[in-house]
Amino acid sequence: MTSPPASGSPRPPTETTSRADLLRPGTTEPAASAPGTAGFGLRPPRDRVDPRCRAWWATQTVLWAVVPVLTLALLGLLIGPARWWLLSAALVLLVLAIPLALVVPRVRWRIHRWEATDDALYSRTGLLWEEWRAAPLSRIQTVDLDRGPLQRSFGLATISVSTASARGAVRISSLATGAIGLAAYGVVLQVFDWFQAVPVLIAWLGTSAGAVPLLVLLLVLIVGAVVIGAVGTLAVYVEGWWGYRLGRHEDGSLDLRRGLLVSRSTVFDGDRLRGVTLHEPLGLRRAGGARLDVIAVGVKAPEGDQKNAQSPALVPAAPRAVGAEVAGTILGAPVPDALRPHPPAARRKRFLRAGMLTAAGVVLAVIPALVLPSLWWIPALTAVVLALVTAVLARDNSRGLGHRVTDRHVALRKGSLFRRTDVLGRDDVLGWILTRSPFQRRAGLGTVVATSAGGSGAFRLPDVDAEQARAMMTSAGTVWEHLQVREPGSPAEISPRRGTIEVSGGTAGRRPRAVERGGAAPRDR
């Protein structure tokens, strides 16, 4: 840990900020005890945030207020019946925004503090309710640096330090995005509801739309939705992945930088990487593309905590060869392509499911035909369309099922509309879970789930037969040997002479390394 600048002046993070720079203290002032903390024996963190954050917070509040105020004022000028309500609502929002912009930033600046030592990162945040956080540096998993256009204009940044805490990432709250205002459209709709202007607006829209033929209106809505969706998707993609750069350090850590309006910089600790996931949704797969996510400890945010979510995205939608090359660099070996197919029973299960779905759709389509006999064609059309679509998806899903166990990695592939291939290091698989539904037991199938400390923690592979399940489950150790029924001469027999793997040694935070006993284990299963 480096010492703070001698001048004591704050230094805003830059695009080339390293992890050590992110944890370097900023403005240092004598830490006076905050009210209510003396009884707990705690002193406030030493470093006060950059004073420029007060102007940033105030500007942010003004911008959040300007959009709904202008929207309400414009609608008030255009819609005569609701003019009084809309202009009054705009005036109320404007009056509320002025004290928020002048008072709240100063109060937040006095409360928000942080401090970085050689052992931990401390922060105090809040406005009415204070929250004190401490993150040991040894538990830090990722460090994110976000800089929006407004933040860059003030020379500020948002820093998030992710740990394994259920509370999510520790944010240098003095530089975090303010939570004073509401979304512009949410504010407008809420104010409409307060002033009971919604019925007036609905009546006005209904009168205006009534002059347009229904067919023309439907076509306009469909075309507008398609155009807006395409433009929005393209805009989100460009903004999120503009200036994309992915670097790999000597210690295996990954440094990802991207963003057009909001500059994002994420560091993935090499010691916490467990594998990769190659996503190939149907549309992207037809175009020969794929996306790549990293499987790492702490990357997936706790359930329901979207604010502090750590995105696992590593490579955006790109040619599959690009994603496979990056994955091979991270794994230290090419991504397995020749996967072992699943038994015919898995294929039959998918076609049976397709038939059941088609039958259910036809039953629902018969209801309007019973009410109006002239709609007899709806069940027939539904049967033909559903039969074709579900049959194609069932065939593609069964062909997509596959797995492979090498001497270093475990690859699991499944899905049709949203196909994914999870590749985990064998040493990073904590164990396997076997589940069997009544139908699977009847068909001689089962679902295996690889457990790991990275990502979601569970990676599911459906519909494997008994021999395939045994081969995968023994790749994580000998724990399942105790329950196996051994038959002399059986090809699935597991014995020390055939390379049984046992657990030996290991370090904290990682699965013990697997070692071979009595000869080399088979390379592929």
What contacts 175, CB < 8 A, 6 or more positions away?
49, 50, 53, 151, 156, 157, 158, 159
Which amino acid, one-letter code, is at 170?
A: V
Size (the chain), residues: 525
Other Cβ atoms within 10 Å of 21 Cβ, number: 13
pLDDT score at 7: 39
Question: For residues 204 and 79, is the Cβ–Cβ distance under 8 A?
Answer: yes
Residue bearing the bigger pLDDT, 326 or 266: 326
At 206-248, the pLDDT tens digits run: 665 556 666 776 787 788 888 887 888 888 888 889 889 998 8
Which amino acid, one-letter code, is at 145?
A: L
Q: How confident is the model at residue 309 (pLDDT cuts 50, 70, 90)?
A: low
The overall average pLDDT reported for the chain is 74
Domain 402-525 CATH assignment equals 1.10.3470:
no
What contacts 256, CB < 8 A, 6 or more positions away?
245, 246, 247, 264, 265, 266, 267, 268, 314
Q: How confident is the model at residue 403 (pLDDT cuts 50, 70, 90)?
A: very high
Least confident of 336-345, 355-364, 483-492, 516-525: 516-525
Least confident of 287-301, 344-358, 456-470, 477-491: 477-491
Phi, psi of 493 (to 5 degrees): -65, 135
Q: What is the mean pLDDT of residues 509-520?
A: 38
Burial tier of 218 (Cβ tally within 10 Å: 0-12, 13-18, 19+):
exposed
Q: Alpha-carbon distance 143 to 161, whole Å?
A: 5
Least confident of 83-92, 183-192, 197-206, 435-444: 183-192
pLDDT score at 190: 41
Q: Alpha-carbon distance 513 to 505, whole Å?
A: 7
Least confident of 70-74, 189-193, 400-404: 189-193
What contacts 400, CB < 8 A, 6 or more positions away?
413, 414, 415, 416, 419
Residue bearing the bigger pLDDT, 40 or 469: 469
Pick from 55, 257, 54, 262: which is nearest to 146 by CA?
Answer: 262
Q: Residue 293, SS3? A: strand
pTM of the model: 0.60
Highest mean pLDDT among 143-147, 320-324, 502-506: 320-324
Q: Alpha-carbon distance 230 to 63, whole Å?
A: 27
pLDDT score at 131: 76
